[in-house]
């Protein structure tokens, strides 16, 4: 087998050594300048493929939702014990994020990478308008179980208010519980979900939260200045373990924003290059 591998280039060389003119190598690009959008897009290719195709991602979701069910039941029992006799119990709730938590948008991300595009609000809206995202593995089963355990489900998402109707359609077509206006808290001015979580907590006992970003649990995770944010994780490990289930999303999120920042794609690419340099790569 090994010899055969050596034979192939040798044959190719012999074929080229005849009288036929050797093909010109492809012309280099007209300028040395990089297309920053395409460059950033290509950097995400592996992440997007992993999220969309891998059995590993599929199983991590299923596994996480299995753990979510166990934690939820434990917390329900514990909360019930904490009530004193005769005290009126508040209704139970589970809070979930939507994108990459209960709905899988990797087809949108795949299309963007294929076309050399990065996130674009209009293209994103074109995707959510279709209301055709599939459920994340294990999400439906978990939320149906939560409903059976008398929890109300609240969806706290940073989708835009213009996406309200299509998001509800997508969720209800898939059979998600509580897919109605009262249980959908969209982004209103800020991506910080603290106030929206507080609104749910004002009337309900929240027994579990699920998201693909640590910020779906607490806004303090936005701070990535100390050891890329891992110091905050260590400081909050107890409440994270008890009340939060994190799902995988290598495609986008706070980790990447902390490096690339805001601004044009050229500026983001520049910050990536600075990051490589600063970290000795």
155 vs 97: CA distance, rounded Å: 6
The least distance separating Mg ion from the CB of residue 161, rounded to whole angstroms, comes to 17
Pick between residue 159 and residue 268 the one whose CB is nearest to Mg ion. Answer: 159
Cβ proximity to Mg ion, 97 vs 104, nearer residue: 97
**97 near Mg ion (CB under 5 A):** yes
When asked if residue 100 is in the footprint of Mg ion (CB under 5 A), the reply is yes
Q: Which one, 76 or 112, has the nearer CB to Mg ion?
A: 112
Smallest gap from Cβ 94 to Mg ion, in A, equals: 15
Number of residues that bind Mg ion (CB under 5 A): 4
3-class SS string, the chain: CHHHHHHHHHHHHHHHCCCCCCCCCCCCCCCCCCCHHHHHHHHCHHHHHHHHHCHHHHHHHHHHHHHHHHHHHHHHHHHHHHCCCCCCCCCEEEEECCECCCEECHHHHHHHHHCCCCCCHHHHHHHHHCCCCEECCCHHHHHHHHHHCCEEEEEEEEEEHHHHHHHHHHHHHHCCCCCCHHHEEEECCCCCCHHHHHHHHCCCEEEEEEECCHHHCCHHHHCCCCHHHHHHHHHCHHHHHHHEEECCCCCCCHHHHHHHCCCCHHHHHHHHHHHHHHCCC
Instruction: Please report whether residue 104 would count as binding Mg ion according to CB under 5 A.
Output: no
Distance in Å, CB of 29 to Mg ion, minimum: 36
163 interacts with Mg ion by CB under 5 A: no
Q: Which position's Cβ is nearest Mg ion?
A: 99
Give the pairing of strands 205-211 and 92-96.
parallel
Beta carbon nearer to Mg ion, 99 or 152: 99
Q: Would you say 207 or 217 has its CB closer to Mg ion?
A: 217
Q: Which stretch binds Mg ion (CB under 5 A): 21-29, 93-101, 114-122, 140-148?
A: 93-101
Residue length of the chain: 281
Q: Identify the residue among 41, 99, 206, 244 touching Mg ion (CB under 5 A).
A: 99
**Alpha-carbon gap, residue 235 to 259, rounded angstroms:** 22
- Contacting range for Mg ion; rule: CB under 5 A; set: 14-22, 35-43, 92-100, 185-193: 92-100
> Nearer Cβ to Mg ion, position 216 or 265?
216
Considering beta carbons, is residue 93 or 252 the nearer one to Mg ion? Answer: 252
| Min separation Cβ 180 and Mg ion, Å | 20
Residue 252 Cβ, how far from Mg ion at the closest point, in Å? 9
Tokens representing 40?
A: 């950033």
Q: How far is the CB of 243 from Mg ion (least distance, A)?
A: 17
Nearest residue (CB) to Mg ion, 205 versus 216: 216
Residues 164-223 that bind Mg ion (CB under 5 A): 212
- Give the contact letters, 60-89, x = binds to Mg ion (CB under 5 A), - = no: ------------------------------
CB neighbours of 65 closer than 8 A, spacing ≥ 6?
Answer: 137, 138, 139, 141, 142, 210, 245
The residues that touch Mg ion, with contacts defined as CB under 5 A, are 97, 99-100, 212
């Amino acid at each position: 087998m090994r010899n055969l591998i050596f034979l192939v280039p040798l044959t190719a060389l012999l074929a080229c050594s005849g009288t036929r003119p050797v093909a010109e190598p492809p012309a280099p690009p007209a300028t040395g300048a990089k297309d920053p959008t395409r460059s950033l897009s290509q950097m995400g290719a592996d992440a997007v493929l992993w999220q969309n195709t891998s059995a590993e991602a599929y199983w991590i979701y299923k596994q996480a939702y299995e753990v979510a069910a166990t934690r939820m039941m434990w917390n329900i029992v514990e909360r019930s014990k904490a009530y004193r006799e005769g005290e009126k119990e508040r209704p139970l709730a589970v809070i979930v994020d939507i994108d990459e938590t209960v709905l899988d948008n990797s087809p949108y991300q795949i299309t963007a990478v294929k076309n050399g595009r990065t996130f674009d609000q209009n293209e994103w809206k074109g995707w959510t308008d279709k209301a055709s995202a599939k459920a994340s593995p294990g999400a439906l089963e978990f939320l149906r179980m939560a409903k059976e355990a008398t929890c109300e489900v609240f969806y706290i998402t940073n989708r835009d208010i213009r996406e309200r109707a299509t998001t509800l359609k997508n969720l209800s077509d898939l059979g998600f519980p509580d897919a109605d206006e009262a249980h959908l808290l969209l982004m209103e001015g800020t991506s910080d979900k603290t106030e929206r979580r507080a609104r749910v907590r004002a009337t309900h006992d929240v027994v579990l939260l699920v998201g693909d970003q640590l910020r779906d649990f607490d806004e303090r995770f936005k701070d990535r200045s100390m050891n890329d944010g891992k110091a905050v994780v260590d400081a909050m490990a107890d409440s994270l373990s008890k009340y939060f289930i994190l799902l995988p999303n290598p495609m986008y999120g706070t980790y990447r924003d902390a490096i690339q920042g805001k601004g044009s794609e050229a500026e983001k690419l520049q910050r990536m290059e600075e990051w490589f340099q600063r970290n000795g790569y």
